[in-house]
Amino acid sequence: MKIRFSLILVVLSMLVSGCSSPDAPMAFSRFNAPGWSLLEIRNDVAYDRSWKVVIGIIVRTFDLEFISKEEGYIRTAWLHTWTGIYLPNYRVRVTVLFSEDRKTLQLKPEAQSLEEGAWVEGADTRLLPNLKAELVGTIGRTLR
């Protein structure tokens, strides 16, 4: 019985440690590939206003790498200080894409951890919920 319990603990610890890089924060999940998340914009919010709000929220944390209001596209530069401290082996960025009718926007938060000289794609489990909460509180209607 003791041996089984010890074996279970060893397997569980290997599974947990296999989910993230040793240098990545606990919020990094290599098994969650970055994907798009949809946010519907309230009917009473014009595109100019929603554009300004999204930019305002993003630039508080990120530097902008590419921006096109006409295309409804925003991409941030990679950020190594998302956790509050500089981590050279961990980075996050956000891409935003407004729909052509400007009634919805899509968010794609990305996270990468440097492992054995190569960037490993994943997701930061705190980044998307934080962004969504802020956007829903200002311009959004529903989340999917």
Q: Please give the residue that has the higher pLDDT: either 91 or 18.
A: 91
pLDDT-based confidence at residue 128 (cuts at 50, 70, 90): confident
Q: How does pLDDT run across 64-103, given as a tens digit for each residue?
A: 999 999 999 999 999 999 888 999 999 999 999 999 999 9
C-alpha–C-alpha distance, residues 136 and 121, integer Å: 27
Query: Tokens 């956000």 correspond to what residue?
Result: 94
DSSP letters along 7-52, please? HHHHHHHHHHHHTS-TTS-TTEETTS----EEEEEPTT--HHHHHH
Residue 67: count of CB within 10 angstroms of its CB: 15
**CATH number for the 21-143 domain, one of 1.10.10, 3.10.450, 3.30.310, 2.40.10?**
3.30.310
